């Protein structure tokens, strides 16, 4: 299995290297190696290399890091939720975090027109949407089917915030604010800056590592509640950790890049075809595949046309046929 992980890491690193050279201003491999040599060994950049340095450090590197983190976060969150709910058709938005984040961002765009507030509102309302879903769940006294009730709470929360989003779009200025809201909802990595990545990279990496760390307990959750408790597992604690951490990194992802769908649904299915259903192996695989997938899709969004295609559109266009293929190729995906 180590060899398999090494291959995935090498593929990801190759994609990162290629992504640094791709763009409206192409950088050849020779220029790239010369730049890296001058930066690391001689620490002396001439005028042409200084321009390459600005392009890589200020524009491409933040975007690449964001694509890697967001892709890994969505994929691991989706796999964790699928394991926790014992349902391969759930995604990171199952508890309403995506709808809440979308409403928060739209609200900020419509009334404040400030990028920092847009991100802050998106993150905050994403968390609030999940809190509301849990509150709805707590209204029910019968906990025999707690997972199903939690899913229903998420559906209610998602529907409520989707309705609020529609109200904001209806009341927004149709000439200035509404186009910005619609564009944000389609997802994009073009506005991400290096200082933002420095701030969010630590909580996102920690969140991914925590979910990978509890993966062995996610295997036990596939048994009945009584069997899991007989093995000494605090099922309530594990579910709480998964919900909090997966919600946190999903909300950060949405606040950074807008709505990017399908990653948390299709990548876990595709990973199961490669490594099986053991979550201890599945979650690290999902992280690497999700990061590589979103990085490749982002390259297409930058290079496909003269203008940049919103990445959320491409993940849907690519994700739908992949999902159909995976469902046809694996009976396990429907169990």
Assess contact for 285 and 274: CB atoms under 8 A. yes
Question: Does 33 reside within a domain?
Answer: no
Question: Does 100 reside within a domain?
Answer: yes
| Torsional sign, CA 317, 169, 190, 124 | negative
Question: Does 166 reside within a domain?
Answer: yes
Question: Does 44 reside within a domain?
Answer: no
- CATH for 122: 1.10.3470.10
Neighbour count for residue 142 (Cβ, 10 Å): 7
Q: The tokens of 113 are what? A: 């027109």
Q: The tokens of 287 are what? A: 């992280």
Count of structural domains, the chain: 1
- Closest by Cα among 89, 90, 93 to 103: 93
| 153/155 Cα distance (integer angstroms) | 5
Question: Does 27 reside within a domain?
Answer: no
| 50/60 Cα distance (integer angstroms) | 14
pLDDT tens for the chain, 335 residues: list them.
788 999 999 999 999 999 988 888 888 888 888 888 787 776 777 777 788 888 888 889 999 999 999 999 999 999 999 998 888 888 888 899 999 999 999 999 998 878 889 999 999 999 999 999 989 888 775 655 677 788 888 999 999 999 999 999 999 888 888 999 999 889 889 888 888 898 899 999 999 999 999 998 998 887 766 777 777 778 888 889 999 999 999 999 999 998 898 999 999 999 998 998 899 999 999 999 999 999 999 999 988 888 888 999 999 888 888 888 777 766 544 45
- Closest by Cα among 212, 216, 214, 218 to 286: 212
Tokens 């390259």 identify what position? 299
Question: Does 28 reside within a domain?
Answer: no
Neighbour count for residue 299 (Cβ, 10 Å): 18
Neighbour count for residue 248 (Cβ, 10 Å): 22
Q: Which domain holds residue 315?
A: 2-21+60-334
Question: Does 31 reside within a domain?
Answer: no
Question: Does 235 reside within a domain?
Answer: yes
Strands (E) across the chain are located at none
């Amino acid at each position: 299995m180590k060899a398999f992980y090494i291959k995935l890491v090498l593929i990801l690193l190759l994609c990162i290297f290629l992504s640094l050279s791709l763009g409206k201003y192409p950088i050849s491999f020779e220029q790239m190696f010369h730049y890296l040599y001058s930066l690391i060994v001689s620490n002396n950049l001439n005028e042409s290399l200084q321009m390459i340095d600005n392009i890589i450090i200020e524009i491409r590197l933040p975007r690449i890091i964001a694509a890697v983190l967001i892709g890994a976060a969505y994929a691991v969150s989706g796999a964790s939720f699928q394991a926790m709910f014992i349902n391969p058709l759930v995604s990171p938005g199952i508890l309403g975090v995506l709808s809440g984040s979308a409403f928060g961002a739209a609200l900020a765009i419509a009334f404040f027109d400030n990028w920092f507030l847009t991100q802050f509102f998106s993150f905050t309302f994403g968390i609030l949407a999940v809190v509301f879903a849990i509150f709805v769940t707590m209204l029910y006294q019968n906990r025999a089917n707690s997972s199903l009730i939690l899913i229903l709470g998420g559906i209610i929360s998602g529907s409520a915030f989707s309705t609020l989003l529609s109200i904001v779009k209806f009341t927004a200025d149709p000439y200035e604010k509404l186009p910005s809201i619609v564009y944000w909802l389609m997802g994009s990595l073009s506005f991400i800056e290096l200082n933002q990545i420095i701030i969010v990279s630590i909580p996102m990496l920690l969140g991914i590592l925590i979910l990978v760390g509890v993966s062995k307990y996610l295997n036990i959750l596939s048994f009945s509640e009584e069997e899991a408790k007989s093995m000494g597992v605090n099922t309530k604690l594990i579910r709480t950790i998964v919900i909090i951490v997966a919600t946190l990194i999903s909300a950060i992802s949405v606040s950074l890049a807008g709505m990017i769908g399908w990653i948390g649904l299709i990548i876990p299915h595709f990973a199961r075809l490669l490594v099986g259903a053991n979550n201890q192996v599945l979650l690290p695989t999902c992280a690497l595949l999700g990061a590589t997938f979103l990085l490749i899709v982002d390259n297409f969004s930058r290079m496909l046309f003269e203008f940049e295609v919103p990445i959320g559109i491409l993940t849907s266009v690519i994700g739908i046929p992949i999902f159909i293929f995976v469902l046809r190729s694996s009976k396990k995906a429907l169990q």
